[in-house]
Amino acid sequence: MTSAAEAIVLRVTDQGRTPWPDAVAVEEPLEIRLGWGPVLGPGRPVSITMRTPGDDLALAVGFLHAEGILRSLDDVDGVRHCGRPVRDDGTSNIVKIQLRAGARVDLSRLERNTYSSSSCGVSGTRSLEDVRTQYPPVLGPGPFLSATLINTLPRRLKRHEGVADQTGGLHAAALFDGEGRLVRVREDVGRHNAVDKVIGAEFMIDALPRANSTLFVSGRASFELVQKALMAGIPVLAAVGAPSSLAIELAAEHGMTLLGFVRDGRFNIYCGSSRVDAP
């Protein structure tokens, strides 16, 4: 499966315009369905998100976990592509998550999960109210990060960005353990999709909550990304870009460490400074 496509562009220089092959990020819709009862049923559509194909199963699971719909791996009977295949590897643009009989799922939460774009995610105001009633995992005191280690994160993420380097059109998210070792990296045209792919992969191996870990993202730190990190029990969120005011508010309320502008050998601490060992 490829995450990049070729386009012919007109490259403009002081010598004029020249046709030029260029790599662009692939963006396609993914419909997420939730099934219960007969396994062969079509399931109920929950959300449509614009994403870069790849790691679709983890993306679907990560999204529903962040929204408080999937609480435990024990609730999941299976995750698979369904519908008409649209790619050579047999995958489609529909993923169905089949629930086990008796799964503890709050179906009323499905009412607002209808569409999220590759850039924006879900409604911040409604999501903030939901997070405050979901009781995400209590964050532990660690990890304790040195300024030196934090300043290595952009370079280490860059080393693992494949399609992003080709296209310039993808975001990346990376998970690091308490010792600063890289656990996994995912890319997508959407910031929140890249994070969902990382967290969904952890959910599918029953590794959540992910205490004593750091999530590093290539873009800005939005409210949605803080929400997703909180629901996964990740105590530190670091971003190349700036956080929003609502992201800072939510992170501070739950005792998360939020770092922004992590680049060029410097960074800002917006809250949770006790986890950072810096002069």
- Where along the chain do its domains lie? 28-134, 145-277
- Given the structure tokens 């029953």, which residue do they identify? 206
In this prediction, residue 121 carries a pLDDT of: 46
Give the count of beta carbons closer than 10 Å to the beta carbon of residue 134. 17
CA–CA separation, 81 and 64 (whole Å): 16
Task: Report the pLDDT averaged over residues 177-186.
Answer: 94
* Catalytic residue positions, numbered: 120
In this prediction, residue 132 carries a pLDDT of: 57
Helix (H) or strand (E) holding 37: none
What residues contact 226, with CB distance under 8 A and at least 6 apart? 237, 243, 247, 250, 251, 256, 258
| Token representation of residue 194 | 């890249």
Pick the more confident residue, 183 or 11.
183
Whether the per-residue pLDDT at 240 is higher than 80: the answer is yes
Whether the per-residue pLDDT at 122 is higher than 60: the answer is no
User: What proportion of the chain, given as a percentage, has pLDDT over 90?
Assistant: 50
pLDDT tier, 276 (very low <50, low <70, confident <90, very high otherwise):
very high
Residues 239 and 121: beta-carbon distance below 8 Å = no
pLDDT tier, 211 (very low <50, low <70, confident <90, very high otherwise):
very high
CA–CA separation, 109 and 87 (whole Å): 32
- Given the structure tokens 């532990």, which residue do they identify? 140
Is 170 in a helix, a strand, or coil?
Answer: coil
Residues 1 and 57: beta-carbon distance below 8 Å = no
Whether the per-residue pLDDT at 119 is higher than 60: the answer is no
Is 270 in a helix, a strand, or coil?
Answer: strand
CA–CA separation, 129 and 157 (whole Å): 33
| Token representation of residue 195 | 């994070």
Pick the more confident residue, 42 or 183.
183
The CA R_g of the chain, rounded to the nearest whole Å, is: 19
pLDDT digits (tens, 9 = 90+) for 140-176: 999 999 999 999 999 999 887 665 455 456 889 999 9
Whether the per-residue pLDDT at 120 is higher than 50: the answer is no
Q: Among 90-94, 100-104, 171-175, which is the least confidently predicted range?
A: 100-104
pLDDT digits (tens, 9 = 90+) for 18-40: 887 877 778 888 999 998 866 66
Is 58 in a helix, a strand, or coil?
Answer: helix
pLDDT tier, 106 (very low <50, low <70, confident <90, very high otherwise):
confident
Residue type, 134: Q
Task: Report the pLDDT averaged over residues 61-76.
Answer: 91
Whether the per-residue pLDDT at 112 is higher than 80: the answer is no
Q: Tell me the CATH number of domain 28-134, given options 3.10.20.10, 3.40.640.10, 3.40.630.30, 3.30.70.260.
A: 3.10.20.10
Task: Report the pLDDT averaged over residues 245-260.
Answer: 92
| Token representation of residue 30 | 């993914």
Whether the per-residue pLDDT at 6 is higher than 50: the answer is yes
Architecture of 145-277 per CATH? 3-Layer(aba) Sandwich (3.40)
